[in-house]
Amino acid sequence: MTLDSKQFLHPDAIRRIGRLELRARHIVEGVLSGMHRSPYFGQSVEFLQHRQYAPGDDLRHVDWKVWAKQDRYYVKQFEEDTNMRCTLLVDVSASMQYGSGPLNKREYAATAAVSLAYLLLKQHDSVGCIAFDEKIRARTPLRSTQAHLSSVVKTLEESQPQNKTDTGAVLREIAEVGPRRGMVIVLSDLLGDVASTLRGLRMLRQRGHDVLVLHVMDDDELDFPFDGPTRFEGLELPEHLNCNPRALRDGYLAALESFLLKLRRGCARDAIDYTLIRTSQTMDAVLAALLCRRLASTRKI
């Protein structure tokens, strides 16, 4: 699979597309137009048996290796031949309000989530959405109709950041009472207790879910570019800090690297697909890279 040379949308351009649903459609259609084939995420199905081909059967299920040997058409049957079920978990805690560029973390995560929902619904998969902070704030059930996109948009537009986050507790709750296995995509800055977050992610994997983590962070958080006297104000705590950032920079970056390393290692240990995303990255480029990687892993399986 290759992409054409079209210029990916800059976050400034994405910001100017006001409506979240329209923004997502524009991004996804731009990505798909640059690919030679649809980047399906793939279905979690298991091969059961062959049966002889009948007119009207989907040609994608014809086993051409059997045809080459027997000169007869057979199609593959699967134990569970249903569309994929995907739940989008979007962090709407207060820390997601931070942003130094055109899109803050919440706007970026919401736009990415709706873009993924649009793509999944386009390929007839079922999509649900959960907005959370320290607990679940809003949710839309799993549906596979194109009209369902408006429900996902409404859930995210009406969930304004205002509270602390407890990602681990929310993940564990979803793992315990959530739907049967499918795909779970987490979009969050993951600020909080790393061990708790990883335990929640592990529980989702243990229950058979395919888990993707899109770790959304702002450039300021990753680079700490501050210089001169600065006042830092807490978004999830009523506290502030007046300081000289240059005195804190080395310690902050060391703590950040430790935080990211624990997340990467924990996700790798539990076979969780982890991606760190800067809010300055062009979203269709991020989406295209994710889809290409998922398609490649599906082919290997």
Q: How high is the pLDDT of residue 142?
A: 93
Q: How high is the pLDDT of residue 17?
A: 61
Residue range 134-180, pLDDT digits in tens: 999 999 999 989 899 999 999 998 888 778 899 999 999 999 987 67
Q: Mind spelling out the 3-state secondary structure of the chain? A: CCCCCCCCCCHHHHHHCCCHHHHHHHHHHHHHHCCCCCCCCCCCCCEEEEEECCCCCCHHHECHHHHHHHCCCEEEEECCCCCCEEEEEEECCHHHHCCCCCCCHHHHHHHHHHHHHHHHHHCCCEEEEEEECCCEEEEEEEECCHHHHHHHHHHHHCCCCCCCCCHHHHHHHHHHHCCCCCEEEEEECCCCCHHHHHHHHHHHHHCCCEEEEEEEECHHHHHCCCCCCEEEECCCCCCEEEECHHHHHHHHHHHHHHHHHHHHHHHHHCCCEEEEEECCCCHHHHHHHHHHHHHHHHHHC
Q: How high is the pLDDT of residue 44?
A: 45
Give 10-residue mean pLDDT values along the chain (301 residues).
Answer: 41 64 69 52 56 71 80 69 80 93 92 91 89 95 91 90 90 85 94 96 93 96 88 75 85 96 97 96 86 68 44
Whether 100 contacts 218, CB under 8 Å: yes
Tell me phi and psi for residue 28, to 5 degrees.
-65, -45
Q: How high is the pLDDT of residue 278?
A: 96
Q: How high is the pLDDT of residue 222?
A: 97
Q: How high is the pLDDT of residue 117?
A: 92
Q: How high is the pLDDT of residue 159?
A: 86
Q: How high is the pLDDT of residue 184?
A: 94
- How many other CB atoms sit within 10 Å of the CB of residue 169? 19
Is the dihedral angle over the CA atoms 117, 166, 259, 220 positive or is it negative?
Answer: positive
Residue range 169-211, pLDDT digits in tens: 999 999 998 767 889 999 999 999 999 999 999 999 999 899 9
Domain 11-37+83-300: CATH superfamily is von Willebrand factor, type A domain (3.40.50.410)
Is the dihedral angle over the CA atoms 180, 185, 187, 193 positive or is it negative?
Answer: positive
Q: How high is the pLDDT of residue 242?
A: 83
Q: How high is the pLDDT of residue 227?
A: 86
- Provide the residue count of the chain: 301
Q: How high is the pLDDT of residue 78?
A: 57
Q: Indicate the domain borders of the chain.
A: 11-37+83-300, 47-78
Instruction: Report the distance separating Cα 149 and Cα 145, nearest Å.
Output: 8
